[in-house]
Each structure stands twice: as structure tokens, then as C-alpha cells.
Structure 1
Amino acid sequence: MSEPRWLDADQQRDWRAFVDGSIRLHDVMDRDLKTRHGLSESEYEILVRLSEAPGRCLRMAELAEHASQSRSRLSHTCTRLEAKGLVRRESCPNDKRGVFAHLTEEGFAALERAARDHVETVRDFFIDVIDPEDLKAIGRAFRAVTERIAQSR
């Protein structure tokens, strides 16, 4: 068994800053969305993904992939969104096992209201505190991370 490739002090510092900062940032965004709009961050993300889809509709399996949620978690989240009248689910006419999630007009209106506040939170706690060149580096880095994870599946 080979020895682990331990992080050096700088790598450890930066890794911990990433973990701590990302957890805190997600907590701020989730709390803000819940307080102002009664939506969790995961509910908001589903509304965003549906709003960007053709016809504001996606198969649940595709939505789970786009929203970075397991199918089980997505199902529970969509149940909450359905209860709020923001999403509607329908069986796929061509595939009896398939289910579509549709963004309702009420859901789109809720998303439009929440997005105005959410973008300010994102700017206030992320975009505006990061140097533009660092922001580009973060984007490149996390596209690489996402690609590496996709390749490992």
C-alpha cells in the first residue's frame, strides 16, 4: 500500500478555505431564499433548470442530473414544489416509466421574484468579493472538477 499524497501547508489552507467558504455560502443562499421566498436552494435550482428547458419541461432523470440531486431526493423536492403549485409532474406518454416535470406559470412567477433577490446575494457574497481574474480561475477550475467527476462515473 502506497503512502497518501498528503497536502502541503498551502494546499491544506486553500482546501479548508474552499470547504468552509462553500458551506457558509450555501447556508447564506439557502437561508436568504427561505426567508424571502419560502424556497430552499435545491428547490430554487430545480425551478431555474426547468425555466431554461424547452417548454419549461424536463424528464425527471434529466432534471436530477442537471440539478445535481439523486432521483430520490429530486422526487421529494418536486413533491414539495407540487404542493406549492410551482411544478407539475406528468407521466411520459411514450414511456410509462418516464415522468416529466413542468414549471407552472405560478412557478415561473415565483422564480422571477426570487431571482431578483438571489442574484444580489450571489453578487454580495461571491462575485463582488472576488477579483475578476480569480473569478475566471475559479470557473476554469470547477469546470475541470466537473469534467473529472463526469469521467469517473
Structure 2
Amino acid sequence: MTVDEQAWGRVLVLHARIEQELAKALQRRHGLGLSEYRALGKLVEGPRGGLRMQELADAIGLNQSSVSRMCARLEDAGLTIRDLCEDDRRGVYSVITDAGRKRYAETEPTYCSVLRTALDKAASDPALAAAVSAVRGA
């Protein structure tokens, strides 16, 4: 195995551990999935609180079908609404609601805390310490 393969393997292990911790915490404490949390975050940052579905898919790394299902769940929960693009009626936007902004604001501290704790824990593992340092830019 090459040095690059070994390094990439450590990054993948780090990623999997961190994602698992984040997903468990967000679901347990807030009833929100990790992709849903990330989607709300991208919508909060988006112009006028919305993004075209394809832009949202690209921003959070999901395919169009997965994003459509996720947005349906967010809409059912009252956290987003769908809106048609004014310029192109075929374009569909996902737009965050006030309830979605509130939910994101309530959830963000959990995400940040769990991320910091999970990275700290991984940094104590000699096999992952360099990967954590690279992620943190140290």
C-alpha cells in the first residue's frame, strides 16, 4: 500500500467516525438528520434563504433524488417550502422558513460541540492525529 493510500485511508476512517457521531447526536437531541441539518445551513446562507434544488444537491453532496426526498421531509416538518423560480418555471427552489431558521439555530451549537469533541478524541489516536491536524489546518 502506498503512502497516499494509507493517508487517504486514515482520512476516510476519520470522516466515518465524525459523521457517525454527528448523525447520532443530531438525531437523538434534535430529531434532525445530518443531511437535513446541512441543508438548513446552506439555505440559511443562500440568497433570500433559498437555493435551487440542484444547487442544494451540489452543496451538500447528495443526488437530486435524495435531495427531493429530504426536502419533502423538511417541508412536512414546516422547516422549508418549495418555490418556483421566477425566471424559469421549471426551476424549483427550497426556501427556509422562520421555523427552519430557528431549528438550525437551536441545532448548530450541538453540531459544533460534537464536532469539536469528536475531533479532539480522534486527535488522541496516533493513527488519526495527522489527519485531524490537516483538517484543523494546524
Same fold (TM over 0.5): yes
Q: Count how many residue pairs are aligned between Structure 1 and Structure 2.
A: 133
1:108 to 101, 106, 114: 101
- Match in the other structure for 1:54: 47
Cα RMSD after superposing both structures: 2.4
Distance 1:121 1:139, change over 3 A: closer
User: Which of residues 120, 123, 135 is equivalent to 1:138?
Assistant: 135
Aligned pairs (5 A) from 1:4-153 = 7-8=1-2, 10-126=3-119, 130=123, 137-138=134-135
Q: Distance in 1 between matches of 2:19 and 2:13?
A: 10
Q: Which amino acid aligns with 1:138?
A: V
How many Å apart are 1:94 and its aligned residue? 2.2
Instruction: Give the drift of 1:97.
Output: 1.1
Task: Indicate how the Cα distance of structure 1 residues 15 and 48 shifts in structure 2: closer, same or farther if over 3 A, else same.
Answer: same
SS of aligned partner of 2:78: coil
Task: Give the Cα–Cα distance (whole angstroms) in 1 for the partners of residues 120 and 104 of structure 2.
Answer: 21
Residues 99-149 of structure 1, C-alpha deviations (whole Å, 9 max, x = no match): 011000000000000001111011111268649x97563367xxxxxxxxx
Cα distance in 1, alignment partners of residues 136 and 91 from structure 2: 34
The structure that has the greater radius of gyration is 1
Comparing 122-131 with 44-53, which one deviates more in the overlay? 122-131
Please tell me the residue identity of whatever aligns with 1:137. A
TM-score when normalising by structure 2? 0.84
Contact 2:42 2:56 in 1 (8 A): yes
Give unmatched runs, 5+ long, in structure 2. Answer: 125-129
Secondary structure in structure 1 of the residue aligned to 2:90: coil
Compare relative contact order (CA 8 Å, sep 6+) and give the higher one, 1 or 2: 2
Q: Deviation at 1:90?
A: 1.2
Gaps of 5+ in 1: 1-6, 141-153
Q: Distance in 1 between matches of 2:60 and 2:4?
A: 29
- What is the aligned-residue identity percentage? 29
